[in-house]
Amino acid sequence: MILKKIWYNYVKLFLRISLNFYAKEIKVFGKENVPKKGAILFAVNHPNALLDPLFVTTFNNRENHFLVRADVFKRPLVKKALASLNLMPIYRIRDGRKQLSNNEEVFKKCFNILARKETLIIFPQGGHSRDRNIKSLSKGFTRIVYGALEKNSNLKITVIPVGVTYQNSSSYPSKVCVQFGAPIDAKTIYINNEKAKAVNVLKEQVSNQLKQLTVHIPNDENYHETLKKLNAANVDFTEVNTINEMIRNQKFPEPKKKKINYLKPVYYLILLNSILPYFIWKKFSKNISEIEFIDTMQYGINVVTFPLFYILQSILLSFLYGWQFATYYFILSVFIVYVYTKLAPVNTESNIK
């Protein structure tokens, strides 16, 4: 148990550092809403596959467990690695009806996690989508919350909605905003309402908060036109409150030209210095069928191959020019990537549907 905790905290620190090489800016609000003790269920929107739980778990102080789609666990080695970091599979109808029975065991594990007054990350929309709105929530997360309360009447469970917003998914670098919402006392809702009503009340409260914690364009006939105007104005989507006010009032800034990337030569220098990781990514990217997984795969591959490649090149250079030169090369290579990440301009998406 101690070794697992050390491993978890080491990986969490590594993720915190590496995510800063992915994102130009990471804004985190509402961390004070997260209780230091007690059972918590984080209800998170889901625009960007596995990067969403990484941002949520890395930038709060609790040790988190979370459910992810079962097909990620197909390979035994990957399954062991994910399990060591508190990830659990959740099965959907597309995984086959027979597989759905496995969710009973998963739900039992979730009940036990909450009974131990630990935390659980759930994506209540039931799937990921890059649409800039909050869709109808499934009742699966309420089944976990109320199922845990049925088994332990003395348990208190706090539900915290979390909004994750990206300036431009699948584009490097990006900007990210993570907002932890106001705590919801699930036990009070459960006690004061019949079960069917309690489910709807909890879903409604979470949904209403998520629509404020991330950019929400109502999914009506004006959705595409509204998004088009926001993209044309090159707004900063991570300024969530400002953007939602524009949407409510239907008042948008004038169209603005995209920012020119004067650091493009630095980008090409990074590619030249990282040619093997680049080709590895290009090979893997051809097999990505869902756009929401582009960032996840790119981050996952690059976070391993870039440092490893720089280390191997540094070792080679040490034989040719000595350790001092090799050390300078390694530090400079990492520094250039970091500087580009933090200084390169980030524009809105121009090709989103």
CB atoms within 10 A of CB 98: 8
Distances (CA, A) of 333 to 73, 134, 136, 299, 339: 34, 40, 45, 18, 10
Work out the burial of residue 22: count CB atoms within 10 Å of its CB; fewer than 13 is exposed, 13-18 middle, 19 or more buried: buried
Please compute the mean of the pLDDT values over residues 16-37 and round it to a whole number: 95
Nearest to 68 by CA among 157, 304, 81: 81
CB 157 within 8 A of CB 149: yes
Structure confidence at residue 349 (pLDDT): 77
- Strands 23-29 and 174-180, sheet pairing: parallel
Q: Which strand (E) or helix (H) includes residue 100?
A: helix 97-100
In order of their start, the domains of the chain are: 2-213 (3.40.1130.10), 221-258 (no CATH), 264-343 (no CATH)
| Mean pLDDT to the nearest integer, 8-14 | 91
Place of tokens 């332990």: 152
The two tokens of residue 89 are 């599979």
What's the pTM?
0.92
* Residues in a beta bridge with 122: 43
pLDDT at residue 94, as a whole number: 64
Q: Rounded distance, CA 230 to CA 236, Å?
A: 9
Q: Note the pLDDT tens digit of each residue in 302-335.
A: 999 999 999 999 999 999 999 999 999 999 999 9
Q: Quick one: pLDDT at residue 95? A: 63
Average pLDDT along the chain: 91
Query: 277: which 2 tokens?
Result: 């990781």
Q: What is the CA radius of gyration of the chain?
A: 22
264-284 pLDDT, tens digit each: 999 999 999 999 999 999 998
33-71 in b/e burial notation, b at 16+ Cβ within 10 A?
A: bbeeeebbbbbbbbbbbbbbbbbbbbbbebebbbbbbbe
CA distance 97 to 101: 8
- pLDDT interval class at 96 (50, 70, 90): low
What does the H/E/C string look like for 109-153?
A: HHHHHHHCCCEEEECCCCCCCCCCCCCCCCCHHHHHHHHHHHHCC
pLDDT in tens, 38-56: 999 999 999 998 899 999 9
**Residue 42 near residue 119, CB atoms below 8 Å:** yes
Residues linked to residue 174 through DSSP beta bridges, in sequence order: 23
Rounded Cα distance between 229 and 243, Å, is 11
- C-alpha 294: how far from its chain's center? 13
